[in-house]
Amino acid sequence: MEERIQKIMARMGVASRRAAEEIIAEGRVTVNGETASIGMKADPSKCHIKVDGKLIFRPEPKVHLMFNKPVGVVSTLADPEGRPTVKDYLKGVKFRVFPVGRLDYDSEGLLLLTNDGEFSNELLHPSRKIPKTYVVKVKGIMPEEKVGKLRQGVRLEDGRTQPARVRFIREAEANSWIEITITEGRKRQVRRMVEAVGHPALKLRRISVSGVKLAGLKIGEIRPLTEKELQTLKQETAARAGNIQRD
């Protein structure tokens, strides 16, 4: 699948997107031997992309990983502020991978990593509405009325959220634990939703993406997806794509 050259470079950890544009403008990037230009697109699985004469991508086996992201780690391969990133945890990974979507800096839990652009795009496409489940510790005791509002959808500054599956788990002293499943991918959406009903998030952990669960993986650990997990994700996206086409 074709992407803009600067986006490929940023995803591969070569440079930030803005810095990548400057490198391209300086004529230091080539695609299959031709000098690249800003806005130019290429398929990284088929094209030879070089920066200063060095190849940044070679066709390689498709890799699909699960990462239990700690709090205080940025879900990117580079950070201009010098904060810890996903890349710091990839020392044992042979192939160059990138995060599938984001998980907030101050949140923890399941983050998928891959070098499979098509797989990533299918999971992230807004029309697929892939379910993602979180366990959230919120401030105060959340009454059933507020749980009901989350289920129906709440109004945020960027519009009303879609209905969510919400389950009250337990009270913990002066706070509550809830489980919430959403099918949208807005920035910091779960945190904004619980804050909108008057119960700010104190802790947030993603535990599942489309039925693939985090269970058994320690914080900071990475492992390959099992064949069953990979097929679950692929079948889910294919089924949702089929439903959209039929509609």
Indicate if the alpha-carbon torsion angle 92, 94, 96, 97 is positive or negative: negative
Active-site pick, 104, 116, 158, 247: 104
Nearest to 128 by CA among 118, 137, 138, 136: 118
What residue spans of 60-143 are helical by DSSP H?
117-124
**Is 104 tagged catalytic?**
yes
User: Counting every residue, how long is the chain?
Assistant: 247
E-strand stretches of 70-226: 98-99, 108-114, 132-139, 155-156, 159-160, 165-172, 175-182, 201-209, 212-213, 222-224
Report d(CA 247, CA 243) in Å as an integer. Answer: 6
What residue spans of the chain are helical by DSSP H?
5-11, 17-25, 117-124, 144-152, 189-196, 227-246
Alpha-carbon distance values, 60 to 44, 55, 95, 96, 184 (Å)? 10, 13, 8, 9, 31
CA atoms within 13 A on the CB side of 246: 6
Residues 6+ apart with CB under 8 A from 245: none
Active site amino acids: 104
